């Protein structure tokens, strides 16, 4: 549905990578120089296991452990090559899970 392309200079390795992102129906795939880097899949209404959209955000975070990163209203949890991102939102005076995505990182 959508394709974006950019170049990223990585001075520590003296290399420039071409990054292509393909987006389709909420899913995305990122390629670096033609090699798959990561795939991201949104949870939808079913969530992932016992982490569901609309549940208390603090409870969801406590089930996943300590986040490796916080980006504005999103907490990112890492498990080897897998990541789960929880986006927090306000509902009924509390903070709930308003977004949920799974990312698989592919690298050698």
Q: Are residues 59 and 108 in the same domain?
A: yes
Tokens for 18, please give them. Answer: 């071409």
Task: Output the pTM of the full model.
Answer: 0.73
User: What is the per-residue burial (b if ≥16 Cβ within 10 Å, else e) of 39-66?
Assistant: ebeebeeeebeebebebebeebbeebee
Q: Is 95 found in the same domain as 54?
A: yes
Same domain, 94 and 51: yes
**Number of folded domains that form the chain:** 2
Residue 45 DSSP one-character state: G
Q: Is pLDDT at 14 greater than 80 in this prediction?
A: yes
By DSSP bridging, strand 2-10 and strand 94-105 are unpaired
Read off the pLDDT of residues 39-78 as tens digits, 9 standing for 90 and up: 988 887 778 888 999 999 999 999 999 999 999 999 999 9
pLDDT of residue 98: 92
Domain assignment of residue 3, given as a range: 1-41
| Same domain as 49, residue 17 | no
User: Whole-number mean pLDDT of the chain?
Assistant: 90
Residues 33 and 52 in one domain: no
């Amino acid at each position: 549905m959508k394709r974006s392309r950019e170049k990223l200079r990585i001075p520590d390795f003296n290399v420039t990578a071409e990054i292509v992102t393909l987006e389709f129906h909420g899913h995305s795939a990122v390629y670096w120089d033609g090699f798959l880097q990561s795939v991201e899949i949104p949870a939808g209404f079913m969530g992932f296991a016992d982490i569901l959209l609309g549940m208390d955000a603090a409870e969801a975070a406590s089930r996943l452990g300590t986040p490796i990163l916080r980006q504005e209203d999103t907490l990112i949890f890492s498990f080897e090559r897998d990541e789960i991102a929880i986006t927090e939102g306000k509902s009924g005076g509390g903070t709930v899970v308003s977004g949920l995505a799974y990312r698989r990182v592919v690298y050698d």
